[in-house]
Amino acid sequence: MLKPFVHYWLKFSRLLLIIGLCIGLNGQAMADLPSALAGKTLVVGSESDYAPFSFGESPAKLQGFNVDLWQALALQSQLNYRFRVAPLPQLLEEFKQGQIDVLINCAQSEERHRYADFSVPVMVVKNAFFVRKGQSAIQAEADLTGKAIIVREGALTRDYVIAKGWQKHMVVVKSIQEGLKLLASGKYDALLAAKLPTLKLIAELKLASLEAIDIDTGEPMRLSFAVPEGKVELLAEINQGLSLLKTTGTYDKAFDKWFSVYQEQEFWFYLRHYAAPIALALVIFFAYFYYQWLALHKAAHQKIADYQRRTQLALEGADLGLWDWQVMTGKVFFNERWCTMLGYALTEIEPHVSSWKNLVHPEDWAVINRALQQHLAGKAPAYEQCR
């Protein structure tokens, strides 16, 4: 009975986490672009038929949630770009060949992490199976064996169907709209796609005969902006830009524009039925949270102060150099001892990761950068290099 409440509370908690991360970032204005991006025109890949994230026959007609986010990000970060509109498989191939700098509709996967680095997710959505209402033949995952399942070309849902061994009867379409119309016309048995945007499309296309069914589809899809592997400065610019879109409210406005109408209708439907248990759960949760906060706040504050004091004493006593790299912004904190160990004054070294790169011998950079990228991509547990 509390499932709708839990669903929306998890979404709210995720937004709080994003806000917390944004607050923790360096809030410096982004007017000074990294040198690698200054004057460069980025090629930004986007699909023509992936509503409501991006759709339109040409760059001039392109619109959607991710399109709005990218345009706002590029404007505030002063990035020059041009759109490349094509089907997803073609975009992925051009991306691998180095012809595209940014993909704005790229779901994260283990295979794609081999050639791309991803921004923080712009949306996390659960996939769902869609069937015709009253189709009692499909009620559980086991019922999908031998069924004709529709998936979008190039999407991760295709990989999921193959991994389950259902590919013999798999039907690949160019767009979710095409798949929905085929399903509603009585063809094939089910469609697998991202739940929230597909529900929105069903409402817009007035396909009242279709519904989502409650079958587990594994991990949710993390939709992100993708850059070629190793493009650290570009990824940092995008991540900081996304954090600013969130803090300024631009992200929320774009979300409301493309998704909130449906979500509000769904939310108030559940609220009418579950208002009492939701209210009780909220009261219990916030009472418990407030009590814990009061109990832990003083102890946590003292613990942090003690830790900072001990860290400072340890650094001074051991005569150690310290550096702290904020990967998302490229900013680096160097303490004075770190600089003097290299024969510099603190004021002579710019607090940016590029300063560290400039101090590395050119013959060592290839090995060091390879190890660094392995760690940033999650392929190595730690970054360690000694010469």
- Give the start-to-end residue ranges of the domains of the chain: 3-123+221-280, 127-213, 319-376
Query: Helix axis angle, 195-205 relative to 176-184, nearest 10°?
Result: 60
Fold match between domain 3-123+221-280 and domain 127-213: yes
| Angle at alpha carbon of residue 190, lines to 189 and 196, rounded to 5° | 160
The pTM of the full predicted model, rounded to 2 decimals, is 0.58
Token pair recorded at residue 210? 């279709």
How far apart are alpha carbons 193 and 7 in whole angstroms?
A: 18
pLDDT in tens, the chain (387 residues): 434 444 444 444 444 444 444 444 444 434 444 456 778 999 999 998 888 899 888 999 999 999 999 999 999 989 999 999 999 899 999 999 999 999 999 999 999 999 999 999 998 888 999 999 987 688 888 999 999 999 999 899 999 999 999 999 999 999 999 999 999 999 999 999 998 889 888 988 999 999 999 888 888 889 999 999 999 889 999 999 999 999 999 999 998 888 765 554 444 444 444 556 666 777 777 777 777 777 777 777 777 777 777 777 776 677 777 778 887 788 888 888 888 888 888 888 888 878 877 888 888 788 888 888 888 777 878 777 655
319-376 CATH pick, 3.30.1330.40, 3.40.50.2300, 3.30.450.20, 1.10.10.10: 3.30.450.20
The partner residues of 334 in beta bridges, in order of sequence, read 323
Q: Which CATH class is domain 3-123+221-280?
A: alpha beta
3-state percent helix, strand, coil for the chain, nearest multiple of 5: 50, 20, 30
Q: Could you tell me the two tokens for 153?
A: 């070309």
What single-letter amino acid sits at 59?
P
Measured distance CA(106)–CA(255) in Å, rounded: 18
Is the bond leading into 228 cis (omega within 30 degrees of zero)?
no
Q: What is the pLDDT of residue 49?
A: 83
pLDDT digits 0-9 by tens, 265-308 = 444 444 444 556 666 777 777 777 777 777 777 777 777 777 77
The CATH label, of 3.30.9.10, 3.40.190.10, 3.40.50.740, 3.20.20.150, for the domain at 127-213 is 3.40.190.10
